[in-house]
Structure formats: C-alpha cells, structure tokens
Structure 1
Amino acid sequence: MGYDPYENAIPAPEFPISSIDFEHGGALPTRAWAHGGHISPALSIGPLPEGTKSVLLTVFDPDAPIAGGFWHWLAILPVGLTELEAGIRLPESVLRYRNSVGGTGYTGAAPPAGTGTHRYFFAATALDVEHLDLPPEASPAALQFTAIGHVLGRAILVGTATPDED
C-alpha cells in the first residue's frame, strides 16, 4: 500500500474511533461507496481528550490516482456530536468544508478500475477551539494547516475499497 498521510503530521495523543460498519483495515460497506448511495458509515468517536471543544472530522483517500489524494468529507463537529449514525445528515449548525468534488457532505468511495485497493482514512482530530476561522470554501490544506496549533489528539480508522475489476 501507499504512504500513511498522517506519518508526518504533528504528533498527537491517540483516542478511540470505531464503526459498527467496518473494522480498522477492513472493507467499507457497499452503501459507503458512490455506487452504493454515498451513505457515510456509522462512527463512534471518543472519549475525547480533556479540553476538547470541537472535533475536525475528515475522510481522505491517499491512494486516489491524482496528485494530493482525494478528500471525501471535512467537517468540524461540536463535542456533543460524536456518535454518528450511518448516513447522518449533519445539522446546519455544523461547519462543513468542501471536499474534492466541491460538496460539503460525505462523498462515497469510488476507486477507479485498475488502481488497486484504496484506503480511506477516517480521522477525528480533537481541537481546543470551537471552530477555525476559515470560510466554508477553504481548502483541505488550509483547514489542516489552521488546525495545527489547536490539536489535542487524533483518532484514525481506516476502511478499504477495491474496484470490482481488480
């Protein structure tokens, strides 16, 4: 497999993240794929580190056959929203940022044929602020960069998807 996108990230204490829909390193359910309906998997985040005021939730595919990988989901959750049901529609009050296709919701897995197994990094980053001072159209890089000085901990859950043709 390819590189770990969090290998060079600022070190942060780990906390738990899990899903009833897939195991760490296991296959994403079909409904979490683009052809399965773009249904986000259920996630359970925490307990969170002391002092957490929000959680930056991201889903990233570093194996996408484009420079810079593919961002599937970016949002800042309030601390009270850490049990996410499958297919959750985040409340309007949640700060959502544009993913790689320009949407502000979850975009399902869609690895192109011939590109092998893709890894989807579901990352929850505990922040010491309620929000980051960025507009919704801010890039994923700007979001990650702005969060650096506010990170209290990080949880990562990896799901996989392999095109049928591989």
Structure 2
Amino acid sequence: MKKTLLVITLPISFSLLSPAFADTLVLTSTDVAHGKVMSKAQVFEGFGCSGGNVSPQLSWSGAPEGTEAFAIQVYDPDAPTGSGWWHWQLVNIPKHVNSLAAGVGDSSKNMLPMGSISITNDYGVAGFGGACPPEGHGTHRYQYTIHALSKKLELPEGASNALAGYMINSHSLVSSTIEATYER
C-alpha cells in the first residue's frame, strides 16, 4: 500500500508567529552613528574639553502597544569613576513624540517636549552634557538609548541618576541603542 503525505499550507503572517518582531523599536540619528566617532558638536565645553555641547538629533519608530512615554539615556560606561558617567537622562517624553531636534538637551533653550524631565547629569546640570573623556584614556563608548516605557515615571525632585536609571529599566518595554565613540 502506497502512503501519501498531505501538506496543507496556510497564509500566516510572520509577525503573528513572532510577537518579538511585531514591534521593534529603532533609534536613528542624523548626528551620531553606531560605531562611529562623534563630531565636536557632541563634545562638552569645559572640564578641559572644547566642543559644541549639542545634544544630537534623535528619532525612533516601532514602539510597542502599551507605550505610555519614552526615556532617553546617554551613558559612558568607560568613564574611570567605578560607575560610568551619565551625560543625559530625559524621562516622560510624551508617547506621541518620536524625535528630538539637535540642541533640545540645552535646558536654557526651553525646547523639551511638554512634560519631559531632564535629570541632573554627572556634570551637575539638568540637561545634555557632551563627551569629555580624560586625555589619553583611550576610546570611550557613548550609549544613546531610547526606552519605550509602560508608564510615566514618578520621580522625586532631584532624583539621582541611579534612581532614574532604576525606574527607567523597571518600566522599559523595549529599548534601542546607538553606541558612538570619542577619545582625546
């Protein structure tokens, strides 16, 4: 007796099979690129560094369902502090916002999206602080990360970078990072 194998194919969307790929948050920038050296525009002005201290243009897409806000983190894990260096943390970016223009991180310009909160960076300023690795210390990595948050964060006034980071990570649905470099 001959056996016949019957194969039935159904049109199934790949996104239905893999929910992890259904919403993929992607961070892009016209000013910084993954694996590339940052320009002087994103270098701090002070602490022996001479740059523009301009936060880069950032855009994102692919936020998952349930996103209630966004947070941006800019971090140097190579700073010789024992805990890295926080260059910028911006929380509670409204869920309808999907880009930030270059220079938004300058708190004196009052350009942040309504309701967003800049955490005081490790330079002691509530806003963006550019790259400024110690001279001769080698190449440092600067991680620009966008997080889609499940809720707006409730942070006390003067919250530390550690507390902000904890709350961001506790409520992050998904994130995307551009890791640029700089040395002097």
Partner of 2:167: 146
- 1:73 is aligned to 2:88: yes
Which protein has greater RCO, CA pairs closer than 8 Å, 6+ apart?
1
Instruction: Give the superposition deviation at 1:40.
Output: 0.7
Write the distance in 1 (CA, Å) between the matches of 2:127 and 2:168: 20
- Of residues 77, 82, 89 in structure 1, which corresponds to 2:98? 82
**CA displacement, residues 2-56 of structure 1 (integer Å, 9 cap, x when unaligned):** xxxxxxxxxxx85200111132111112111012221011111122111111111
Partner of 2:156: 135
Write the distance in 2 (CA, Å) between the matches of 1:121 and 1:71: 10
Write the distance in 2 (CA, Å) between the matches of 1:51 and 1:112: 41
Instruction: Give the superposition deviation at 1:126.
Output: 0.8
Higher mean alpha-carbon deviation, 118-127 vs 28-37, is at: 28-37
Q: Which amino acid aligns with 1:84?
A: L
**Alignment RMSD, CA only?**
1.6
Aligned partners of 2:24 and 2:62 also within 8 Å: no
Q: Looking at CA atoms only, which structure, 1 or 2, has the larger radius of gyration? A: 2
Q: Which amino acid aligns with 2:129?
A: T
Partner of 1:102: 124
- 1:113 is aligned to 2:120: no
Instruction: Give the superposition deviation at 1:91.
Output: 4.0
**CA displacement, residues 107-143 of structure 1 (integer Å, 9 cap, x when unaligned):** 01111111101100001111111x2111241112111
Matches within 5 A, 1:19-30: 19-30=29-40
- What SS does structure 1 have at the residue aligned with 2:67? coil
- Of residues 75, 95, 116 in structure 2, which corresponds to 1:60? 75
- 1:39 is aligned to 2:54: yes
Aligned partners of 2:94 and 2:114 also within 8 Å: no
Partner of 1:10: none
- What SS does structure 2 have at the residue aligned with 1:147? helix
Instruction: Give the superposition deviation at 1:92.
Output: 5.7
Write the distance in 1 (CA, Å) between the matches of 2:124 and 2:75: 14
Q: In structure 1, list runs of 5 or more residues that go unmatched.
A: 1-12
- What SS does structure 2 have at the residue aligned with 1:36? coil
Higher mean alpha-carbon deviation, 64-73 vs 21-30, is at: 21-30
Partner of 1:50: 65
Classify 1:91/1:136 alpha carbon distance in 2 versus 1 (closer, same or farther; 3 Å). Answer: farther
Write the distance in 2 (CA, Å) between the matches of 1:114 and 1:140: 27
Classify 1:125/1:24 alpha carbon distance in 2 versus 1 (closer, same or farther; 3 Å). Answer: same
TM-score, normalization: structure 2?
A: 0.76
Q: In structure 2, list runs of 5 or more residues that go unmatched.
A: 1-22, 45-49, 105-110
